[in-house]
Structure 1
Amino acid sequence: MPFHLILFVVAAFAWRLLTLAISTRHEKALKKHGATEYGAKNSILLAIFHVLYYICAVVEAAAGTREPNTLLSAGGIVIYIASALVLVSVIRSLGGLWTIKIIISPQHRRVQSGLFSLVRHPNYFLNILPELIGFALALNAYWTLVIGIPLYLVPLVTRIRQEEAAMRETFAPDL
């Protein structure tokens, strides 16, 4: 694997570890103030799928016998960076409410500003899916992309349904 792609992989893993640390800090604060978690088992499954997707893409890229398509790699990196910027926007919009889990506090208010005014679930549709697509494209991990995305969609769709149910329960008059 070319050195620049190794750097990309290291940066991508570091980015996800940073966002995990932010999520964990927010989760502890929310639960300390009486927040409730929904869909815990699916959150674990989604995290496992996310890590496996990254690992599969890296293994596929490392095992590749042909030279990576530089243009495709560059496009994948651009998509990945754009998705990371979306995540920054989502975290800024939600502030201390943002976690990688479905956690709703008694003081929770529905956010309808920023990207949330344009897209119902920007974190899923404008961050996670483009992130995964960009990561695989950057590494020219075609099999990971073609097989991994449909598999990832199973727990992701479940997650969206669980989040919608939790939001209906909490914000019924607003939905």
Structure 2
Amino acid sequence: MSPILVAIFLAAAAARIASVVVSKRHERVLRDEGAVERGALNTRLPALAHGLFYLAAFGEGWVRHAEFDGVSAIGLAILIAALAMLVWIVRLLGPVWTVKIMIARNHPVSRHWLFRNLRHPNYFLNILPELVGYALIFHAWLTLMIGLPVYLVILIVRIVQEERAMRGLFGTASAS
């Protein structure tokens, strides 16, 4: 496997670990403000699926002796754009952004145009493109064909659960 692909794996893993650190910091603040977690199992499943997708794609690339080429470059561009979206979304939501479904007593709803016009932008502009880009980087076609549909099922359940939690607090508003 190309050393650049190993470096991309390590950088992407570091970016995801950094996002979990930010999430944990926000979670502590939310809990101090009386927030409660909804759907704890459905926090663990996407996190597990995300980690397994990363490992499966990397492993598939390793077995295939993947090299960095045009397909990898397209995947890297998609991955970078997806991670940039994550940074933007985290900045927009501030301390209410976590990887968990956390609802505080005075939970603010983002009125930013992104959230008014696209429900769950983190999932559609960050997570899904990130996984596609990541699989392309490593030429992980099996991971993409099998792992992405499995992840989609988990994500749909998560979205339904998040909508239910938000609806109970805000009516039809979306804050993710």
- TM-score normalised to the size of structure 2? 0.94
8 Å CA contact retained: 1:90, 1:115:
no
8 Å CA contact retained: 2:53, 2:147:
yes
Q: Superposed, which structure 2 residues align to 1:60-79 within 5 Å?
A: 60-65=60-65, 67-68=66-67, 70-79=69-78
Q: Which runs of 4+ in 1 moved over 4 A?
A: none
Number of positions where the alignment pairs a residue of Structure 1 with one of Structure 2: 174
Q: What is the CA-CA distance between 1:173 and the residue it aligns to?
A: 6.8
Seen in structure 2, the aligned counterparts of structure 1 residues 174 and 120 have a Cα distance that, compared at 3 Å, is closer
Q: What is the CA-CA distance between 1:68 and the residue it aligns to?
A: 3.5
CA RMSD in angstroms comes to 1.4
Q: What is the CA-CA distance between 1:45 and the residue it aligns to?
A: 1.0
8 Å CA contact retained: 1:73, 1:139:
yes
8 Å CA contact retained: 2:5, 2:68:
no
Counterpart-to-counterpart distance in 2, 1:173 and 1:157: 17
- The answer for the alignment partner of 1:165 in structure 2 is 164
Give the secondary-structure state (helix, strand or coil) at the position aligned to 2:79.
Answer: helix
8 Å CA contact retained: 2:5, 2:67:
no
Give the secondary-structure state (helix, strand or coil) at the position aligned to 2:37.
Answer: strand
Q: Superposed, which structure 2 residues align to 1:123-134 within 5 Å?
A: 123-134=122-133
Q: Superposed, which structure 2 residues align to 1:1-16 within 5 Å?
A: 1-16=1-16
- TM-score normalised to the size of structure 1? 0.95
Query: Structure 2: any 5+ residue segments left out of the alignment?
Result: none
Give identity over the alignment, percent: 45
8 Å CA contact retained: 1:89, 1:114:
no
Give the secondary-structure state (helix, strand or coil) at the position aligned to 1:103.
Answer: strand
Query: Structure 1: any 5+ residue segments left out of the alignment?
Result: none
Q: Superposed, which structure 2 residues align to 1:29-108 within 5 Å?
A: 29-65=29-65, 67-68=66-67, 70-108=69-107
Seen in structure 2, the aligned counterparts of structure 1 residues 11 and 69 have a Cα distance that, compared at 3 Å, is closer
